[in-house]
Amino acid sequence: MRKKGLALLAVAGSLAFGVAACGDDDDDGTASGSTTEQSSDGGDISGSIAIDGSSTVAPFAEAAAELFNEEYPDVKITVGTSGTGGGFEKFCAGETDISTASRPIDEEEEVPVCEQGGVKYTEIVVANDGIAVATNKDLAVDCMTVEQLKQLWNKGSQVTKLSEIDPSFPDTELSLYGPGTDSGTFDFFTDQINGEEGVSREDYEASEDDNQLVTGVSGDQGGFGYFGFSYYEAAADSLNLVGVDSGDGNCVKPSVETIQDGSYKPLSRPLFVYPKADAVTRPEVKAFLDYTVENAAAIAEAAKIVPLTEEQVGTAKEELATAESGS
């Protein structure tokens, strides 16, 4: 009898483990659209705000929503990640209040759609985005051109050592790290370096978790990767930063300054939000935008992206002042 019991136990146990593996163990997954809502005291403003758009701006929007809710808990904010293009599609159809974007709205394709839908809007720059290319400390590379980065990262690339690209580069076997294909960083990098969004070699270690990329690059002798600049900043001591030459012979390393002024080309860009003029007349949307622009630096820090300069904050405030009329 005992043996039979044991066998049953084995079966039940392994079934349970097999099943458990499909679900639990990883409970910190974040859904793509997150809702922040609290119901407590304080804040006489209530209502809901629908935000959608770029996945690169999403962490910023989510951080803004979270901080905003600390003061105004009765405002319900949803942040979607349909992508910049998908966000504008919904925005111009009047479905969302604020669209986030990692590029300006397209004059030829998107502006007419918005006009047709009767959606007026304002463009506000809320933060700056920069991608750092970094290597292991032992892999001494000071500068690479966009062309060289493309040779390494483009679709079908067979490069396993940097010396294959340029003999002056180290002869170390590379281990490559990059963001997962769902991230805005991946889209931006592939677009700027490989010339087409989403096109990349596939045989690299991809993780949605930038910290894991940093761990890998700093741990492997041939570690080479790219990720959001803030993640480099947090681990600057254990990484070697690679400057990028956009083709003019001028090698620029990313820093808060070079990302803010755009001289770190082509891997830096401003990030936008587009509030709908009709929505700005609603007190909760107005309050949210005021709060976001006022606290843009703190929000950027929480979201791990590069904040605005003083000057940019000034411009953002001016833009916001005209947002109700939809300039």
Partner 1 sequence: MGRRTSLVRRPSRRSRFEAGVKALLFAAAAVSVAVTLAIIFSLVKETIAFFGDVSVGDYLFGTKWTPQFAGDQQSFGVIPLVWGTFYLTFIGLVVAVPVGILSGIYLAEFAPRRIRKIVKPVLELLAGVPTIVFGYFALTFFTPEVLRNFLGLGVNQFNALSAGIILGILVVPTIATLVEDAMSAVPQSLREGAAGLGANKVQTAIRVVFPAALSGVVAALVLGASRAVGETVIILIAGGQQANLSLNLYESYQSMAAYIAATARGDIPTGSIEYETIFIVGMTLFVLTLVLNLISIRLVRKYRQVYE
Name the residues that contact partner 1, by CB under 8 A.
Answer: 2-3, 6-7, 9-11, 13-15, 17-22, 25-26, 28-30, 32, 55, 58, 81-82, 155, 175, 180-183, 198-200, 202-209, 215-216, 219-221, 223
Residue 241's closest CA among 137, 159, 162? 137
CB closer to partner 1 out of 1 and 167:
1
Closest separation in Å from C-beta 110 to partner 1: 20
Question: Which residue's entry shows tokens 């083709």?
Answer: 247
The SS3 assignment for 175 reads strand
Is 263 within 8 Å of 20 (Cβ atoms)? no
List, in sequence order, every residue forming a beta bridge with 241; answer none if it has no partner.
134
CB closer to partner 1 out of 82 and 151:
82
Closest separation in Å from C-beta 178 to partner 1: 11
Closest separation in Å from C-beta 16 to partner 1: 8
Q: How far is it, in rounded angstroms, from Cα 148 to Cα 287?
A: 46
CB closer to partner 1 out of 62 and 284:
62
Is 169 within 8 Å of 163 (Cβ atoms)? yes
CB closer to partner 1 out of 55 and 69:
55
Closest separation in Å from C-beta 206 to partner 1: 6
Angle between helices 296-303 and 58-71 (to 10 degrees): 120
CB closer to partner 1 out of 146 and 206:
206
CB closer to partner 1 out of 215 and 246:
215
Q: How far is it, in rounded angstroms, from Cα 90 to Cα 69?
A: 24
Closest separation in Å from C-beta 150 to partner 1: 16
Q: Other CB atoms closer than 10 Å to residue 220's CB: what's the count?
A: 21
Closest separation in Å from C-beta 316 to partner 1: 26
Residue 300's closest CA among 64, 52, 30, 122? 64
